[in-house]
Amino acid sequence: MRSIVRPLMYCLVSASLTSAAFAETLFNEDFQDANANGWAFSGYGTAYVTVYAGNYSLRLTRQRTADQSMSSAGYDNVQVAMQFAASSLEYGETCVGEVSTDGQTWQRVITVYDGQDNGVTLYSGYLAPIGGDNNDNVQLRLRASGNSTGDYCWADNILVTGDVMSAAPDIQISGALDFGDVAVGASAQQSVTVSNLGNADLHIGAVSAPANPFSVSTDTCAYATLAPQGQCQVTLAFAPTTTGSVSDLFTINSDDPDMPAADVQLLGNGIAAQAVYDPLTGNGNVNRTALSYASLNGGSVSLMDYSAYALPANGANPQHNFEGNLTLFGEATNGSFVERGTSLAYAYTDPGHLPEFSFDFVQHGTHLIPVQRGLIATSHPSWSYILEPGRVWQEDGDNGYSRVSLPFSLQENGANCTHNGVMSFAFKDDGSITKVAYQIAAETCAYFKYDMWGLLSASYAPAAVSGAVQLQAQYETEVANRMMVKPISELAVDYPAAGINTATLGSEQSADHRTVFGVAIAGVHYAGGCDTRQGTYPHCDVLDIPSYSTAKSTVGAIGLMRLEQKYAGVQKDLPLSNWVGECSGSQWTGVTFEHALDMATGNYDSSGFEVDEASTTTSNDFFLKYTHAEKVAHSCAYPRKSAPGSLWVYHTSDTYLLGRAMNMFYQSQAGAGQDFYADLLVPEIWQPLGLSPVTYTSLRTFDSQSQVLAGYGLTYHRDDVIKLAEFLAQADGKINGQSLLDTAMLDESMQRTGDHGLSAGSVYDRYQNGFWAWNAKDAMNCSSDVWVPYMSGYGGLSVVMLPNDITYYMFSDNNEYSFVDSAKELNKIQSLCQ
């Protein structure tokens, strides 16, 4: 069937393309000569010309890319057509045809997705590319975006047409200038670019000056002659003296036959002068020895101490304001990568390069806020982005530019492994920008550690961002809601009578593998850690830390306790199989929501401590599967071995089933399409608690179900960890005096009843309603049992809710889980014995 349908579609498309009146063919590739000569190939995968019933196509696999350069000089009305067929694509994988007219940015002609991959149909795409007319440097690109050589993309019938241009100049101006909000007494600059897209010289005459508060700052266009493809610039300033919206025009006169007088609209809004948010006290006299302005405009950077990326003590308030889009170029080809202490890079596709980066940002005083927060899916086969707010300042040595330090993280697709990095660059209001340096030298990931660094070309497109004022206000609230932070060493200063040795805190985790740790007591957060292989991370407050299995407590337990409190009846005793239809086997009879939360379904292969969890089968069939159908098939397949509720067997798959069951139940109450995480937990608990926006998203299955994983997949800031712990252990599940969690379940979870849960791997550990419990009696020499609730996560994560109203947390990744010595030290402040 494929060999019949594809030639038929080829005939139809060819007929439509050749019917364009008087259009001339500038480039035509149908591969009918059985080769791909002239195309340049790069990336992982293969590229072969294949034949079906006499029709030849270029087959690309995995991440293979084919590039071709051509010229449209002397032609206008340029149009590009491409066709693609696909086979064996999975969620997020695509076949893409693109065109570039400037060698940097790419315009999509066609994209074929999962679901369009029957291996038969050739899909067609057409585009009149911006900047495609009369251009010596038009580039065509065909690429596959899969994860194996079994992902097929067939490219065919690449056709570029255009009309012969008559000899005449053709003026093009980059567009209206909107300066947005500018404070009275301040000024902002933007530039307009004038280009000659014609095939004859453009003679520019006078450039009229706009009225105040607009003015021309620099002008390279007046009375200039622009050869074909030539450019010049006019930079304008907006310096309002009163509040209110202002508009004006300025005119560029030329001998363009169609537009002899080209008007450019100017827009601006004067606002009342306000104090700089979070002002700096420095004067800009910074003694910079690394990552200088010259380095940011150079050819490469080295791995360096993070102090070079940090706000310096003498940084001054910024002179420029960043609002608009930041785009990086060359992410897939530039940069350096070295694995550190692990040997797993071979198992990833292109792990050493950043995903494509193009995001909007809004500056607020000395802070730079990404418009999009939380986990951000990308087209990269291995990594997703998390963007965090950074800092902006002025240094004397930066040639009048303002400098930025921007924290970000890469999180493994479908997993919680998180690598923390920082970007830095310098910019001006008018869109001028240096290259962007980036560096990753830390992670919370036991199995894959690396350093990644590089220097990429970038563009800054200044523009007013919708909702900027609201975004700034929300960010101010986010920062204001954080608990007061002091260094961990200050704990001994604030509690001198206790005789605390703060060096003991966090010492049970190897310093080289410790991400963050800290103590919260009496409204103060004593923070430690934040170390990397290259010094201290510059943005500890927004350092992204993965939840791993602490999500069993924060999503699984809090989720079920919220449903139990919110709705009438007893949700925890609902039959799991009634809400997860795939668990239809008889072994699921009698298994409830709470049994799944307790990981006591009675269904398992081995009752040995984490034997099932660590098995190759679970790895291959659950953790390395990314759709709901695949995950639920594994989760429901365990055989019945014991009575439900009688034996704890660690299964992340049980918490996944609970998450699915809770979501289906929530939809039965709130309506189809509702989501228990995004529509229940986030607005009803996370946001009122003041958690950071990074918690508003979670890992989900890669399919139309988009099921929250529940047992892992959240990301926190260190402040979020404390807020969640104190909400449970000290606020009794209340916000502003209102109970949001089921009291009975919460009391059991916090070890306030005689039921301490099921035995969980040792005589000292129990598991109850998604929380671990440790008996501190022997360690603290107490006269009776003292059960301490805590959360635990893969690699070495613990959030300990001590009964003396102290919270201790540590996040590390060397499989070191003990916190006994730290608890003993904190026992000196107030006894845990009851």
Rounded Cα distance between 235 and 814, Å, is 54
Q: How many H helices and E strands in the chain?
A: 15, 46
Q: Which residue has the higher pLDDT, 446 or 258?
A: 446
What's the pLDDT at 580?
98
**E strands along 463-619, which residues?**
484-487, 514-521, 524-529, 531-532, 535-536, 545-546
* Neighbour tally for 99: CB within 10 Å: 25
* Neighbour tally for 391: CB within 10 Å: 22
Q: What pLDDT band is residue 406 in, cutting at 50, 70 and 90?
A: very high
What's the pLDDT at 4?
30
Q: What is the pLDDT of residues 197-232, one digit of tens each?
A: 888 999 999 999 899 999 998 899 999 999 999 999
Residue pair 132/80 in contact (Cβ under 8 Å)? The answer is yes
pLDDT at 581 over 50: yes
Q: What are phi and psi of 685, to 5 degrees?
A: -130, -55
pLDDT at 697 over 80: yes
DSSP 8-class letter at 383: E
* Neighbour tally for 674: CB within 10 Å: 14
Cα atoms found within 13 Å of the Cα of residue 506, Cβ hemisphere only: 24
Burial of 281 (0-12, 13-18, 19+ CB in 10 A): exposed
Considering only 59-63, 186-190, 479-483, which range has the smallest mean pLDDT?
Answer: 186-190
Q: What is the pLDDT of residues 585-596, one digit of tens each?
A: 999 999 999 999
pLDDT at 388 over 90: yes
Helix axes 652-670 and 628-635, enclosed angle (nearest 10): 120
pLDDT at 410 over 50: yes
pLDDT at 246 over 70: yes
Q: Quick one: tokens of 249?
A: 């025009």
pLDDT at 430 over 50: yes
Considering only 195-199, 437-441, 510-514, 725-729, which range has the smallest mean pLDDT?
Answer: 195-199
The mean of the pLDDT values for the chain is: 94
- Please name which of 605, 659, 657, 610 lies closest in space to residue 767, comparing C-alpha atoms: 610
Residue pair 135/101 in contact (Cβ under 8 Å)? The answer is yes
Residue pair 439/452 in contact (Cβ under 8 Å)? The answer is yes
pLDDT at 546 over 50: yes
What's the pLDDT at 2?
34
238 CA to centre of own chain: 34
Residue pair 237/210 in contact (Cβ under 8 Å)? The answer is no
pLDDT at 18 over 80: no
pLDDT at 10 over 80: no
pLDDT at 14 over 60: no
Considering only 31-35, 83-87, 184-188, which range has the smallest mean pLDDT?
Answer: 184-188
Rounded Cα distance between 380 and 359, Å, is 16
pLDDT at 74 over 90: no
What's the pLDDT at 569?
82
Q: What pLDDT band is residue 273 in, cutting at 50, 70 and 90?
A: confident
Q: Quick one: tokens of 259?
A: 């537009």
Rounded Cα distance between 561 and 359, Å, is 37
What's the pLDDT at 5?
34
Q: How do strand 65-70 and strand 138-145 relate by DSSP bridges? A: antiparallel
Q: What pLDDT band is residue 165 in, cutting at 50, 70 and 90?
A: confident
Average pLDDT over residues 621-650: 98
Residue pair 574/581 in contact (Cβ under 8 Å)? The answer is no
What's the pLDDT at 19?
36
Q: What is the pLDDT of residues 738-784, one digit of tens each?
A: 999 999 999 999 999 999 999 999 999 999 999 999 999 999 999 99
- Please name which of 441, 438, 408 lies closest in space to residue 423, comparing C-alpha atoms: 438
Residue pair 188/237 in contact (Cβ under 8 Å)? The answer is yes
Q: What are phi and psi of 587, to 5 degrees?
A: -65, -15
Helix axes 558-566 and 652-670, enclosed angle (nearest 10): 30
pLDDT at 67 over 60: yes
The residues, ordered by sequence, that sit 6+ positions from 349 with a Cβ below 8 Å of its Cβ are: 44, 62, 63, 147, 381, 382
pLDDT at 123 over 80: yes
515 CA to centre of own chain: 19
Alpha helices (H) along 675-819: 687-689, 718-729, 743-749, 777-780
Average pLDDT over residues 279-296: 96
479 CA to centre of own chain: 20
Overall residue count recorded for the chain in this entry? 834
What's the pLDDT at 22?
55
Q: What pLDDT band is residue 427 in, cutting at 50, 70 and 90?
A: very high
What's the pLDDT at 20?
41
Share of the chain above pLDDT 90, in %: 88
pTM for this prediction: 0.74
239 CA to centre of own chain: 36
